[in-house]
Structures are given as structure tokens and as C-alpha cells.
Structure 1
Amino acid sequence: MAEGILKQILDYSNRANPYPLYEELRKTPVFHDGTGPYVISTYHDIQSLLHDPRLSSDAHNLAAAAGDPLADGEGGGGGEEAALPPSFLKLDPPEHDRLRRMTNRPFGPPHSPHRIENMRDDLHGIVTGLIDNLGDPGRIDLVDQFAYPFPVTMICRLLGVPREDEPRFHTWADTIAAGLDPDPDADPAERLRVTHDARMELGMYLAGLIEERRKNPQDDMLSELAAGHGQDDTMSTMELLSTSALLLIAGHETTVNLITNGMLTLLRHPDVLADLRENPELAVPLVEELLRYEPPVQLLPQRTPLVDIEVRGVTIPKGSSMWLILASGNRDPNRFEDPDRFDPYRKDIQHLGLGSGIHSCFGAPLARLEAQLALSELARRLDNPRLVEDPPPYRRNAVLRGPRHLEITCDGIRP
């Protein structure tokens, strides 16, 4: 095992292509350097652990995390709601199950089976408007001009944020997203203050909107969450706040990366881009292969065994910090044939890109649909798009990996 492999994975100079490091890591499927986290890097082990009830997502079960480079935020582990109580993402059953069940009632099956599909026209309208307003086709930043505004606008519509207030949400999302990325040149105290202030402003706005929706319900997700369904299926105001913030921030970050990683991959594979332009139905398997090949969430840090557990003959002590390297499992040759090849025509794409088990990505149906529509419309309407810079500059975040800017040039924008 290479010396300091975890430091190399977190090192920004390797952000553009961490996959050779993951290949090295898989040679020691349960890696531990004696002080840091236990790192799991192979597909079947990760899949098994994601379904193991002995593994906790609650930081309260984590012993002192000495030696864990993500324990203090290095590498961009980040939390989504430091000014609010933990969301269900960071809780264990039964509280996790209660909050996730209540959140799912107005979001998806069985209670709201058509909510996401019924948003297809709204999604298409947002995508069309953003592409119409890209401006000079000779210089487009697909992150700032498209991938960032698209999902936050959609989440505002989902929650029921008034249209006139959507720009405020964009500002808060941008500020909080910036706070998730390490910045060695910035004053840490000032960054913390700015991010905290944005979260507080977001929380106060949501509190007011929740109160308004309780008095005057609308046909939106926030109204249904605020209404509740009996004593055991009603969230407190603070739970509503943390859940709403989770939907905004976590949903936004993963979708931005999925779209930008997707366009970067397509621009590097012009034959697939051309096929998508002619066959928009290819977007469905293509997004699944993207979630395997370039997942927006690279790893899940700080999972914690509630008891001593054994993986591959290695005993991992109770309270230890564990990293599950999803992106490494997705490139495991013992699971996928020719795993370093981007192939949307694969017959078997059972990836780890959206997690698995009880903490699988809550917003997966919406993220999939957003990426499918975004990539198929960009492929259809951008005339001969080319990368300005390859590799592009990446976010400093090692967990939420994606380009910070994706500048392209094209010959024009089709109607």
C-alpha cells in the first residue's frame, strides 16, 4: 500500500482523477494505517455494510476520531445543517425511519406516486429557460449558468417557495455550498461566520414559510409536511426545518455534480454525445452509468460500528471511524467488467452511486429525472460543444466531487 494513500485521496492535486488511487486502495480491501479511519473500497463489502444494522450514521456513536482527516472537515466532509438539529441523514432507526417515512409521504410512493413524474413539464421548462439564456455560445460556464441554478429552482418549486423568493434561495444555496468546500486561502473564522449566517437566514425564512403553510396550505410538499398525519406522523418545527434544509442543500449538491460530471464525460466521449442527441431515450441508462462511472458522492465518511465487526478477517472496533469509498466500489473489476470504460449500453449497472440500504439517496427519483432531462436537452441544443479546459478546475471537496467550473464553447444554440 502506498504511503499516505488517504492523504493522496484528499489532496486537491488528485481531484481530477482519483481512480488510480482507488485501484491501489482496493489491493488492501480493509485499509487502516493504525491511527485513521478503516477504509472499505470493494463493491461487495461496501454493499454489505450499507445494509448492516450494526453500522451507525449518528456521530454520537463515534469515538474520538483522532487521525481521521475528515473529522475536522478537511477534504470537505461538511455537514448540511450546522445551525439546525441533525437531519434524518445523520440519524439511526427508529428516529431515522420515522422522519424519512414522514418526508416520503408527500414525495413519492405509495402516498404520492405521481409527484415527481408530474413535475416533468416544470423541469423541462426550467431547463429550456436556462439554455435559452446561456448567452454567448463562444464562452459558457455550464456550472454557474446551468447546473447550479437548475436544481435549486426545482427544489424551490417542490417545497412551494414563492417565485419572488427564489433568488434568495439561490444566494443561500451558493453560500452554503461554498462553505462545504475547503479553502486554504480563506479566513476559517470568516468562512464559518458567513456560512452560519446563511444557514440561520435560511432557517428563519423556512420557519416563517412553514407557519404560513400551516395557516394557508397550498399544493406543495412543505404544506403537506407541515400538516402532518396524526400524533406519530407529525414533525416538530425544528424537524421540519432540518428536513427542508436537507432537501435544499443535499439535493442541490449531488444534482449539480451529477449534471456537470455527466456533461464532462459526454464531451470526452463525442460518439455517446452524438447518440444521445439522436436518441434521447438513451438518457435513462446513460445516467445510471454516470452514477457508476463518475458518482457525485465519492465516499461516505464517519460510519461507525455499534459493536466490534469483522470485515475480510479484520476486526473493526466499536466506535471506530469508517469510510465507505463508493466510487472505488463502482470501479471494482470483481463486480464490473472493464470498469474504467464509460459504457451506457451496459446490461448490468447496479452501482453504488446513490448509496444503498436505509440511507440510500432520498431524492434519487428527482435527481435521476433532472439529470436525464438536463443532459438530453444540452446534447440536443448545443451545436458542436467543446471543452475549453480539460481537466476543468474541480471543487476542493473530496466527498462531493465535481467541476467547480465547466467552460465550453459551441457553434451555436439550437431552438
Structure 2
Amino acid sequence: MSQPSPAGTLPAPFDDAFFTDPYPVYAQLRQAGPVHHAATPDGSPVWLVTREEDVRTWLTDPRLSVNKAHARRGYQGFSLPPALDANLLNIDPADHLRLRRLVSQAFTPRRVEDLRERVQAAADRLADGLAAQRTADLVEHYANPLPLIVIGELIGVPEHSRRAFSAWVGSMFDPECPGQVAESVDRIHRFLLELIATRRGAPCDDLLSAMIAARDEGDRLSEDELVSLAFLILLAGTENTQHVISNGLLTLLRHPRQLAALRGDPGLLATAVEEMLRCTHPNQWAIRRFPTEDIAIGGVRIPAGDTVMLGIASANRDPDRYPDPDSFDIHREDKQHLTLGHGLHYCLGAPLARLEIQIALGTLLRRFPRIDLALPAGSLRWRASFRSHALKELPITVGPPTA
């Protein structure tokens, strides 16, 4: 078996070129070997698992724990207070299932389908705004606010607070100055505490009020679990969906034949969204994991307590799984990508995310017979994040809208 790399000699594959286009790096890593001991931009030592078969297998192996209590040897990450850290992403099976059951009914396919008219109405209002401007940043004026409206109404976040929450989350992933991550986390924490206190005093017909009742009346979760669950639902319900909308539209604009095929047959939209999830989703890695015992992946020994990163984006571009994996093909038949997870941690909000993305992109294509980039594609700016491949903005010009 391969041995761990000596301290101080870890490669650092995450640079400016990676932030703009990470996929050539993944191709190099997959070809060089199944697992790599590397350093993240903050210097943390991690094991990168990049091949689809390994990623799929280890997403469900109980020897890889998401609980940071099993972490050793230099793990770093977002420094979250306990009231934000006790969420589903950091909890192993027993408690994970208990918390998941508390909110799962809000995200069943049937409940999500009941939201269709509300999502469509929000998309239409935002598209009206694009039509009025003709040239606008799709991220700011369409892709970001749509999921915020939907999840904000579902969980009970006042409209005037939604954009601030989104900005704080953006600063967590792509800080502009030292200390901004900690400041954003603190603001999110205080915001949630105030929101929960408000809902305790005046319950409404929303998911947060139901969660508070489960805490106060049923004692089915702790106070930290309540705050953490609210944080995760807001984060997961907005962050990735926002960027699939913008990344997805950019991908269509870069593939005019695929765009024309989709315009010609809107029935292909669901399949097109699955292809976008496979090859344009912002989330690059599954939540970090820690071996509870020494393990071997692809013949590489990984000591207990080390940090393991399972490469979702790399797995989704693995040529051993997908023919011509770097090609965007809305007719692709293999839809078993790993973007939304696999096993216990499969995305709870997957039905809602799919609905929002389909409606968001379908509305744009239906309302605007012409959509163009408002600047050269090479001038687009991307987050400086190894975790999230997301556009900072997407300036577009839309043609005269249809009714």
C-alpha cells in the first residue's frame, strides 16, 4: 500500500486556474492515481478521492464519519459555533435520522409539487424585472433571489432579511478580507437566534414554527440542533440552487446546439437539468469525512482521524463511468450522478431543487427568445473557492420578451 506523504511536501492543486476551471485538475488527479494527499488553500492536509467508483463506494461506508469528534491531525474548516454545527451534515446515523424525520415531510415530492405555482409566480416576477432592464446580472436579479423567495416563505424568513442572509453565506465561501468568514458566521448565528425568538413569541404556519414546536413541546431536538437545522435548511435550500441556475444558463449559452434543441423541445428540460447537475453543479466535494479506523482506498492507506474529501465533481466527470464526460449532452441517458449525494446523506431537498431549477431555466427560455452574454465569457469572475465553483455574476442581455 502507498504510505502517507511526508509532512511539508503536500501538493496544493487549488490555484487561480483551478478556481476558473477545476475540471482539468480533476482529470490529472484521476489519471495519476485514485487518492492524493494534498493541502487545501489554508494549508490543511486532506486526502482527495477523485474516481467515481471509489467516491460512490465510500459515500456509504460507515467507517467514514462526518462527526468532527473523529478528526485529528490538522483538520480545519468553517469555525462554526455549536448552535450552527449540530446539523445533519455533521451527524452520524442515529441522530441524523432523528433530525431528518422532523423535516422530511416538508420536502416530499407531493409537498414540493404543491409549491409549483408559488415557484412559477416568483420566477415570472423576477423575469419581468429582467425584461424591464434588458441588460442585467442574472445572479443578482434572478438566480439568487428565486430560491431565497421559495425557502424564505417555506421556513418563515422575512423578505427584508433574505438578501442579507445570502450575502453572509457568500462571504463564508468567498471572503474578500481576513476575518470576514468569522464575521459572517456570527451574523448568521445572531440572525437565526433572533428569528427563532420571534417565531417562539408569534408562531406562524411555516416550517420553522413547526420545528420550534418539536423542540418546545415534543423535546425531540436540542436548542443547538434547532438552530443548526434552521441554518442548514436555509443554506442548502438557497446556495447550490442559486448557482446551478446561473452555471446552467452559462453552459447552455456556451452550447448553442444544445440550447436550440432544448428550445425546440421543452420536454427535454428535466433531462437537461440532470445533465447540469452532473457537470455544472457548484458543490465540488462531499462534506469532509474522518476514518474511524485505518482504511485503504484504491490501495492507499489513510490513517484514522485524517480528513478525507470525496470528489463529487471529479466523479461526475470520470470517463470510466461516463462516455465523453466533459461534453454537455442534454440527451445523456445515465442520470445516476452523485451531485445530490448517495446513501444516508442524500440531499433532503432534492425534489425542491430540481423543481426550482427547471422552472427558473424554463421560464427564461420561454420568456426570452434571445439571451446573450453581456461580456466575453473569458471575463467572467468565479469564486476563489476550492469547495464551490460558482459565478460571482453573469451579465446577460435578453431579447424582447414574449407574453
Q: Shared fold by TM > 0.5?
A: yes
Alignment-derived partner of residue 345 in structure 1: 331
Partner Cα distance (1:280, 1:334) in 2: 30
Residues 238, 250 of structure 1: alpha-carbon distance in 2 compared, 3 angstrom cutoff:
same
Instruction: For 2:66, give the aligned amino acid.
Output: S
The CA deviation at 1:267 is 0.5
Equivalent position to 2:350, from 356, 359, 364: 364
Alignment-derived partner of residue 62 in structure 2: 53
Partner Cα distance (2:277, 2:10) in 1: 24
Alignment-derived partner of residue 222 in structure 1: 208
1:120 and 2:116 matched: yes
The CA deviation at 1:397 is 1.9
Equivalent position to 1:403, from 377, 384, 391: 391
1:208-219 mapped onto 2 (5 Å cutoff): 208-212=197-201, 216-218=203-205
* 1:80–1:246 contact (8 Å) kept in structure 2: no
Partner Cα distance (2:36, 2:290) in 1: 15
The CA deviation at 1:278 is 3.3
Percent sequence identity is 36
* 2:83–2:227 contact (8 Å) kept in structure 1: no
Partner Cα distance (2:327, 2:30) in 1: 18
Alignment-derived partner of residue 29 in structure 1: 34
Residues 137, 271 of structure 1: alpha-carbon distance in 2 compared, 3 angstrom cutoff:
farther
Instruction: For 2:324, give the aligned amino acid.
Output: D
The CA deviation at 1:85 is 3.8
* 1:80–1:245 contact (8 Å) kept in structure 2: no
Equivalent position to 1:206, from 195, 209, 223: 195
Q: Structure 1 unaligned runs (5+)?
A: 66-70
* 1:277–1:376 contact (8 Å) kept in structure 2: no
Q: TM-score normalized by structure 2? A: 0.89
1:159 and 2:155 matched: yes
Alignment-derived partner of residue 12 in structure 1: 16
Residues 358, 301 of structure 1: alpha-carbon distance in 2 compared, 3 angstrom cutoff:
closer
Equivalent position to 2:267, from 278, 281, 288: 281
The CA deviation at 1:166 is 1.0
Alignment-derived partner of residue 4 in structure 2: none
Aligned with 1:101: secondary structure?
A: helix
Partner Cα distance (2:82, 2:241) in 1: 21
Aligned with 2:110: secondary structure?
A: coil
Aligned with 2:301: secondary structure?
A: strand
Aligned with 2:396: secondary structure?
A: strand
Equivalent position to 2:165, from 158, 166, 172: 172
Partner Cα distance (1:255, 1:171) in 2: 17
Alignment-derived partner of residue 298 in structure 2: 312
Alignment-derived partner of residue 42 in structure 1: 51
> What is the total number of aligned residue pairs between the two structures?
388
Structure 1 window deviating more from structure 2 (50-59 vs 270-279): it is 270-279
Alignment-derived partner of residue 95 in structure 2: 95
Partner Cα distance (2:369, 2:133) in 1: 9
The CA deviation at 1:137 is 4.8
The CA deviation at 1:89 is 1.1
Partner Cα distance (1:210, 1:237) in 2: 14
Partner Cα distance (1:303, 1:118) in 2: 35
What whole-Å deviation, never above 9, does each CA across 1:190-218 have from its counterpart, x for those lacking one? x24531442133222322244145xx452
* 1:151–1:255 contact (8 Å) kept in structure 2: yes
Alignment-derived partner of residue 3 in structure 2: none
The CA deviation at 1:274 is 2.4
Aligned with 2:93: secondary structure?
A: coil
* 2:243–2:282 contact (8 Å) kept in structure 1: yes
1:336 and 2:322 matched: yes
1:242 and 2:231 matched: no
Residues 82, 24 of structure 1: alpha-carbon distance in 2 compared, 3 angstrom cutoff:
farther
Partner Cα distance (1:192, 1:272) in 2: 39
* 1:80–1:249 contact (8 Å) kept in structure 2: no
What whole-Å deviation, never above 9, does each CA across 1:334-362 have from its counterpart, x for those lacking one? 10111111111011121111121111222
Partner Cα distance (2:288, 2:182) in 1: 25
* 1:386–1:409 contact (8 Å) kept in structure 2: yes
* 2:253–2:259 contact (8 Å) kept in structure 1: yes
Partner Cα distance (1:373, 1:94) in 2: 35
Aligned with 1:199: secondary structure?
A: helix
Q: Structure 2 unaligned runs (5+)?
A: 1-8
Residues 16, 136 of structure 1: alpha-carbon distance in 2 compared, 3 angstrom cutoff:
farther
Q: TM-score normalized by structure 1? A: 0.87
